[in-house]
A and B are shown apart, each in its own frame.
Chain A
């Protein structure tokens, strides 16, 4: 069974702090995606990681992919309240067939 596991599932942190969300997956893949979801809203694509060692940054968020370890990380630098949301990682195993397999999400609350 294909598994995508995120941790932590819940995270409360203060503004200005740094933190990392981890995404482990069980089957070889070199395509990993990060999405953000605000309450009651749909998913917004953040990063597409397509190869081992890929690193992408956008503002205070940086994502990386280690396909050998089957691990992706989403690092938050100097968190601000606006980054409060649920973050999902998703893995593509079949080039789109079967769609993406999502983790359960990390619910992030950033307190002033």
Chain B
């Protein structure tokens, strides 16, 4: 499978717990993005990496959120002390920086439910 892979597909947690999601991008892609999508809305940008460097973070990304991309390969998104408002679909996307525009390839997402 050469697509973007995300794990887990679903996560149910209690408020206050920490959760971590993983994203494996398409292997030759150097850019990796995290988005959040709630029901009836378009995806909202959270952060992105170029190789291992985290280059941009949205103001949506509070201090409880942290993302890493060690060695420029897979990435993890951790949410500490989850709140009910964190319930959403978390989407990962990857792309290859080039001249032909930035076509993002999205994973299937991790659906987070905070009880």
Cross-chain contact A100 with B91 (CB below 8 angstroms)? no
Q: Kindly state the separation between the CA atoms of A70 and B40 in the bound complex, as whole angstroms.
A: 24
Q: Which residues of A contact B35 (CB under 8 A)?
A: 99
Cross-chain contact B48 with A96 (CB below 8 angstroms)? yes
A65-92 residues at the B interface, CB under 8 angstroms: 88, 90, 92
Q: Which residues of A contact B95 (CB under 8 A)?
A: 96
Q: Kindly state the separation between the CA atoms of A12 and B50 in the bound complex, as whole angstroms.
A: 40
Q: Kindly state the separation between the CA atoms of A5 and B1 in the bound complex, as whole angstroms.
A: 35
Query: Hey, which bits of chain B sit against chain A, CB under 8 A?
Result: 31, 33, 35, 40-45, 48, 55-56, 58, 91, 93, 95, 97, 100-109
A45 and B105 in contact, given A97-B48, A99-B48 (Cβ under 8 angstroms): yes
Q: Which one of B43, B55, B103, B108 has the greatest number of beta carbons of chain A within 10 Å? A: B43
Query: Hey, which bits of chain A sit against chain B, CB under 8 A?
Result: 4, 31, 33, 35, 41-45, 48, 50, 88, 90, 92, 95-105
Cross-chain contact B106 with A98 (CB below 8 angstroms)? no
Q: What are 30 inter-chain pairs, A to B, with CB distance below 8 A?
A: A4-B42, A33-B103, A33-B104, A42-B91, A42-B107, A42-B108, A43-B91, A43-B93, A43-B106, A45-B105, A48-B101, A50-B100, A88-B42, A90-B42, A92-B102, A95-B102, A96-B48, A96-B102, A97-B48, A97-B55, A98-B56, A98-B58, A99-B33, A99-B35, A99-B45, A100-B102, A103-B42, A104-B40, A104-B42, A105-B41
